[in-house]
Chains A and B, each alone.
Chain A
Amino acid sequence: MSRLIRMDHTGHSTLAEWTQGDQAAYEEAVTAFRRELDEGYIGVVSEGEGRATQVRELPADAELVIMRRPIAGG
């Protein structure tokens, strides 16, 4: 089961879930992913300790895709 989550004021919200082969669920997840990108979120795939990759399209095979806000120097 793959998940698309967004870090927000609730801790995090699950936006979509899909499994390999469930194209309809994946398409819904892609729609949710693009909506978050449009709102200024950044998509990140956590690849275990020490590694993460920013993504601009939702990878179908990623276990967890996290939407985060931009960071800036304070």
Chain B
Amino acid sequence: MSEAALPELAAVPWRRRETDHTLRVRARLWTLTMVAHVVPFCVVAIGLFLIEPLSAPVGLIALAQAWIIPGLYAVRGANTVKPRGPRHDAAEPVAQGLLGDLLGHDARELQRRTGLALERGELGTWLIGERGALLVAPDGRIVHCFCVSASDDELPPSDRIAHLLLALRTDEQGFATVANHAFAGAPWRVRRRLGRDARPALSAAVRVARASA
């Protein structure tokens, strides 16, 4: 007997199932949130300068706020796929072997270089990390950041990725529903906050998303 829906959905009965539409709405809400943070500071900076040019330092502080606050949200998003926790060096090669068997050749090479497993889905192109995932929307303009992980802290890093990969492959919408949505924004915002090793994975995911749009 097989099931199409993730059993983990039972733990979050209040959540609506994520779809293309709900993710587009989330992306728009995040864009509005960014605008709501940036525009007032810019208006203050310009207004102060027009009223009194000597207030330029205060205006610069306001502009800095307009730059920094969206950046902090993007950091939160990028942190979802940053490697954390014990490395379990003894078990990791075994786990890496299993994960490699689950991935295709290109995705396997990318995962070994960047620590992120690329997976094409119906909702977009996914990058799976140890404790989170990024989803690049089909046009490549928005990346959604999700916080999600296996419930066993003793797992080696590649097993953690394999857990998320298998759950994603079982029920992509269910996976996006169970995961906590942390941020949505332009790929460049997230890319510059990723670790240097992980950045090529996001670039690759954006290319794949654009090519398959």
Q: Which residues of A contact B (CB under 8 A)?
A: 5, 7-12, 42, 44-46, 49-57, 66, 68-74
Contact = CB atoms under 8 A, between A and B. Distances in A.
Interface residues of B, number: 51
A7 to B, nearest CB: 5
A26 B40 CA distance: 67
B155 A7 contact: yes
Contacts of B162: 7, 66, 68
15 contacts: A7-B162, A8-B155, A9-B88, A11-B92, A12-B98, A45-B2, A54-B4, A55-B2, A66-B98, A66-B166, A68-B167, A70-B151, A71-B8, A71-B150, A71-B175
Contacts, number: 118
Nearest to B103: A49
Given A8-B159, A52-B166, 12 more contacts: A7-B155, A9-B155, A11-B96, A11-B158, A12-B159, A50-B121, A50-B169, A55-B3, A69-B163, A71-B8, A71-B148, A73-B12
